[in-house]
């Protein structure tokens, strides 16, 4: 049985699905995580682990001992106040650790708006949202850590994540969806299972200093995805609004950017066939199994 001593900064849906994948693959998992709430002992999928308090204000000092012992580190915490709080607080401990795999989860918002054209890992990065600007700064910091300290760092730029629990079908059933009228608006998405599978593949085929886009094969408009979801749920008459009627800042930012994110590099390097090549397979699977 393979052993893994992994420290997860943040323990949201991506980290949890990755740990679930390790469990399915019969790994002996020594897990530590962080949480914004007080430190505690927790159980996930039969795995007992320590969750340590960590936020922008303070952290549990016991965290440092576990971090130094980790051979794998997964970072899924977004920047706060334009800063990567993991590097701000722990770079010196990571530099002195025996880690052999560090993965930073970034976002495709680093590319900014490309007027609906394709982007790949070599495309110009001109982020326009605060999130995208912060993500790019964080990426730059992780790349510097890798180069200056010869540490094993890879970066995954994630497209819009959906899962069996969080998806357009759930929101449609709640009546929490409006069709946004914006022609030529494209975005990419990826199912959390595919993220977990690629993270798993990277354990045995790790190349430090690399950046990969994680997206499915079919960039589409939000309207297209929503209408497909409504069709398979037999929901009619969804309210349609104009972009300038959007109240939510995050959603408004989403419609300021349009791009198709290429996944060729990650599929080729890891020789990976997506479990859900598009929203069609993903949403059909969710409807048949969870809705």
**SS3 assignment for 119-131:** ECCCCCCECCCHH
- Could you list the residue range(s) of the whole structural domain that residue 265 is in? 3-163+189-216+260-276
Which domain CATH number covers 131? 3.40.50.720
Whether 242 maps to a domain, the answer reads no
Q: How high is the pLDDT of residue 289?
A: 97
Q: How high is the pLDDT of residue 46?
A: 96
Cβ atoms of residues 2 and 28 within 8 Å: yes
Whether 182 maps to a domain, the answer reads no
Q: How high is the pLDDT of residue 245?
A: 87
In whole angstroms, how large is the CA radius of gyration of the chain? 19
* Domains of the chain: total: 1
Write down the pTM of the prediction. 0.97
Whether 196 maps to a domain, the answer reads yes
**SS3 assignment for 35-99:** ECCCCEEEEECCEEEEEEEECCCCECCHHHHHHHHCCEEEECCCCECCECHHHHHHHHHHHCCCC
**Mean pLDDT (10-residue bins), the chain, 291 residues:** 96 98 98 97 98 96 96 97 96 93 98 97 96 97 96 98 97 93 94 98 98 98 96 93 86 92 98 98 97 84
How many Å apart are CA 65 and CA 68, to the nearest integer? 5
Whether 132 maps to a domain, the answer reads yes
Whether 93 maps to a domain, the answer reads yes
Whether 286 maps to a domain, the answer reads no
Q: How high is the pLDDT of residue 176?
A: 87
Whether 139 maps to a domain, the answer reads yes
Q: How high is the pLDDT of residue 205?
A: 97
How many Å apart are CA 291 and CA 282, to the nearest integer? 13
Whether 142 maps to a domain, the answer reads yes
How, if at all, do strands 189-191 and 118-119 pair? Answer: unpaired
Cα–Cα distances (Å) from 25 to 1, 4, 19, 21, 47, in that order, read 9, 12, 10, 6, 14
Q: How high is the pLDDT of residue 141?
A: 97
Q: Quick one: tokens of 119?
A: 């982007």
How many Å apart are CA 178 and CA 187, to the nearest integer? 17
Cβ atoms of residues 186 and 255 within 8 Å: no
Q: How high is the pLDDT of residue 148?
A: 95
Q: How high is the pLDDT of residue 61?
A: 97
Q: Quick one: tokens of 64?
A: 């440092």
């Amino acid at each position: 049985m393979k052993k893994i001593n992994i420290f997860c900064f943040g323990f949201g849906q991506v980290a949890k699905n990755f740990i679930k994948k390790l469990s399915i693959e019969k790994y002996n998992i020594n897990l530590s995580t962080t949480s914004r709430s007080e430190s505690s002992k927790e159980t996930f999928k039969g795995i007992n682990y320590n969750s340590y308090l960590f936020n922008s204000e303070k952290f549990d000092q016991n965290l440092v001992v576990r971090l130094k012992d980790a051979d794998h580190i997964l970072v899924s915490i977004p920047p706060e106040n334009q800063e990567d709080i993991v590097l701000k607080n722990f770079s010196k401990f990571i530099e002195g650790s025996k880690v052999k795999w560090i993965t930073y989860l970034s976002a495709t918002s680093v590319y900014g708006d490309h007027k609906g054209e394709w982007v790949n890992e070599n495309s110009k990065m001109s982020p326009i949202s605060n999130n995208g600007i912060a993500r790019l700064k964080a990426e730059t910091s992780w790349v510097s850590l890798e180069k200056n300290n010869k540490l094993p760092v890879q970066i995954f730029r994630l497209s819009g994540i959906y899962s069996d629990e969080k998806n357009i079908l759930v929101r449609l059933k709640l009546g929490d969806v409006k069709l946004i009228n914006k022609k030529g608006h494209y975005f990419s998405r990826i199912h959390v299972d595919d993220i977990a599978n690629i993270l798993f593949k990277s354990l045995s085929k790790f190349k430090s200093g690399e950046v990969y886009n994680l997206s499915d094969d079919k960039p589409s408009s939000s309207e297209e995805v929503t209408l497909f979801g409504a069709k398979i749920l037999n929901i009619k008459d969804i309210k349609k609004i104009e972009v300038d009627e959007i109240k939510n800042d995050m959603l408004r930012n989403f419609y300021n950017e349009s791009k198709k994110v290429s996944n060729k590099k990650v599929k080729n390097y890891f020789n990976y066939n997506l479990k859900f090549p598009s929203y069609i397979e993903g949403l059909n699977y969710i409807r048949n199994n969870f809705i």
